[in-house]
Each structure stands twice: as structure tokens, then as C-alpha cells.
């Protein structure tokens, strides 16, 4: 029995991996904007792989506000929660609350059922840049990275890469440092995140969602980090709308 169980895991995992070595979109970070974007593109028949450094996908949603597992959403973003069958209730003044555990698990489940391959405990340590376009990611196991082991990575090629790594904006940072590219921000480089201002932060999250360089897109808080937007805390409507916006942009790009 034991060997059959092990064989089943190994066989089916590598079948799955083999099918996603070349994708339409590689998303780094399984936070809310990345999961929303992934599901939207997968529903359009695109091959999408997410690479999440942590064991549990979901990004910053799980903790709600200071570990109070509720988040706030504006009314204009509720249709996205409806798409994932996630429940919510009115909090007055055009604001709604939702259970953060339901939101995180609902987004993960929705993306997976749409056909997205979610790779957890996998870190992206580099990007692939060819002829003026970002066209892949270099991946390794997170434990390998954290233990500082000298283990060579593997590569997943993609038509586009989405930086959904949140506040650090790690993929944009990698691309600018290692590929030496100039990105589409007011300064041509990463501007850094401004302090907390919830109302403006929500708006700038969507506004700053864009293509920074051919093949390189940014969403969520990584978008604010790149273009100097405000932080917004445990209100997530902007994150959901950022994911939906970037999915549309990428779809138009890769469909030509």
C-alpha cells in the first residue's frame, strides 16, 4: 500500500508539472489580485501557473485586520466576490465585510477549479528576459532558498509574467536590477510605497496596475510599490479590481 500511495503522488504531480512548463501567464504570489487574475484568464482558456513562496496561498487576506479575521470591501468590488460565491454583509456607508478565511479559501478554490496550477512552497529567484521582453521565471523550492543550499533552479517559460508579490514588489525589483530594464513609472524605476491612506491607496492600486515593461505586469500592492502609491490596510476591493483589470490587459496582450 505504501509504495502505491507514493507512486500515485509522484506520478500525478509530475504529469501536472510537465503540463505547465510553458504557460500563457506565470503569476508570482498567490495573493488576492493574483488569484483573481489567474481565475479570469484560466476561464478564457489560458494556461496559468501561480508560484507562491509560502505553504498556504492567499497572501495577506488570511489575517484580516490585526488577526481579526474580517476584511472590508467597497460596493463596486462585490461582483468579483459574487463570481467566487463568497458571502459578505453590509457594514453601512457603502462598505461591506467578509470573513477573511472564506475569502482566501474561496479565491484559492475558484482559481483551482478554473484550471490554474498553484505551486506552493516555490520561490521565484530570477526572471527570463529575451529580446526586450520578460518571458519566464526561474523557480526553486522555498526551503532550498531559506537554507541557502546551492541547488540549481528550473525555468518556466511564459508569454507574460505578473508580479503579485505584494508590498516588496520582488519580481519588478529582480527585473530592474538583473535585467537592467527601465519600467513604466514616472521615474523609470521603482518608486516605493507611500504610507497609509486607505481611500487613496484603494484608488491607486487599480490605477497603478499596468504593464511595466513588455511581458511584465504588476498588480495589487506590488503595483503601488512600483509607482509610489499609498498603502491601504485591510480593505481589499482595490486588490480584487486590480486583479480583474490586469487579467483583461494580459488577455489583450497575449491574444495579440
Q: Are 204 and 174 in contact (CB under 8 A)?
A: no
189-205 pLDDT, tens digit per residue, is 999 999 999 989 999 99
pTM of the model: 0.96
Q: Which residues are annotated as a binding site for glycine?
A: 231
Q: Which residues are annotated as a binding site for NAD(+)?
A: 33, 52-53, 60, 124, 150-152, 221
144 lies in a domain? yes
99-109 pLDDT, tens digit per residue, is 999 999 999 99
126-140 pLDDT, tens digit per residue, is 999 999 999 999 999
Torsion angle of alpha carbons 140, 144, 148, 154, nearest 10°? -20
Number of domains present in the structure of the chain = 1
Q: How far is the C-alpha of 187 from the C-alpha of 142, rounded, in Å?
A: 32
5 lies in a domain? no
4 lies in a domain? no
150 lies in a domain? yes
220 lies in a domain? yes
2 lies in a domain? no
- Measured at the alpha carbon of residue 79, what is the angle toward residues 184 and 39, in degrees to the nearest 5? 60
Q: Which residues are annotated as a binding site?
A: 33, 52-53, 60, 124, 150-152, 167, 221, 231
Q: How far is the C-alpha of 247 from the C-alpha of 59, rounded, in Å?
A: 18
Beta-strand pair 133-141/122-130: antiparallel
Q: What is the CATH number of the domain that holds 91?
A: 3.50.50.60
33 lies in a domain? yes
Containing domain of residue 130, as a range? Answer: 10-255
38 lies in a domain? yes
Q: Which residues are annotated as a binding site for Fe cation?
A: 152, 167
Amino acid at each position: 500500500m505504501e509504495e502505491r500511495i507514493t507512486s500515485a503522488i509522484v506520478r500525478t504531480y509530475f504529469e501536472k508539472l510537465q503540463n505547465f512548463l510553458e504557460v500563457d501567464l506565470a503569476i508570482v504570489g498567490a495573493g488576492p489580485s493574483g488569484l483573481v487574475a489567474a481565475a479570469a484568464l484560466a476561464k478564457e482558456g489560458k494556461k496559468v501557473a501561480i508560484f507562491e513562496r509560502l505553504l498556504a496561498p492567499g497572501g495577506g487576506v488570511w489575517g484580516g485586520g490585526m488577526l481579526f479575521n474580517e476584511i472590508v470591501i467597497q460596493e463596486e468590488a462585490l461582483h468579483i466576490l459574487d463570481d467566487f460565491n463568497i458571502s459578505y454583509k453590509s457594514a453601512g456607508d457603502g462598505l461591506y465585510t467578509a470573513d477573511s478565511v472564506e475569502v482566501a479559501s474561496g479565491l484559492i478554490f475558484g482559481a483551482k477549479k478554473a484550471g490554474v496550477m498553484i505551486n506552493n512552497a516555490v520561490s521565484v529567484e530570477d526572471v527570463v528576459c529575451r529580446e526586450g521582453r520578460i518571458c519566464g521565471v526561474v523557480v526553486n523550492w522555498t526551503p532550498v532558498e531559506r537554507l541557502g543550499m546551492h541547488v540549481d533552479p528550473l525555468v518556466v517559460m511564459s508569454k507574460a509574467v505578473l508580479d503579485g508579490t505584494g508590498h516588496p514588489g520582488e519580481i519588478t525589483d529582480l527585473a530592474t536590477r538583473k535585467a537592467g530594464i527601465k519600467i513604466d513609472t514616472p521615474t523609470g524605476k521603482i518608486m516605493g510605497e507611500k504610507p497609509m491612506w486607505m481611500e487613496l491607496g484603494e484608488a491607486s492600486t487599480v490605477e497603478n496596475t499596468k504593464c511595466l515593461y513588455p511581458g511584465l505586469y504588476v498588480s495589487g500592492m506590488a503595483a503601488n510599490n512600483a509607482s509610489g502609491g499609498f498603502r491601504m490596510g485591510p480593505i481589499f476591493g482595490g486588490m480584487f479590481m486590480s486583479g480583474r483589470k490586469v487579467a483583461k490587459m494580459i488577455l489583450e496582450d497575449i491574444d495579440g
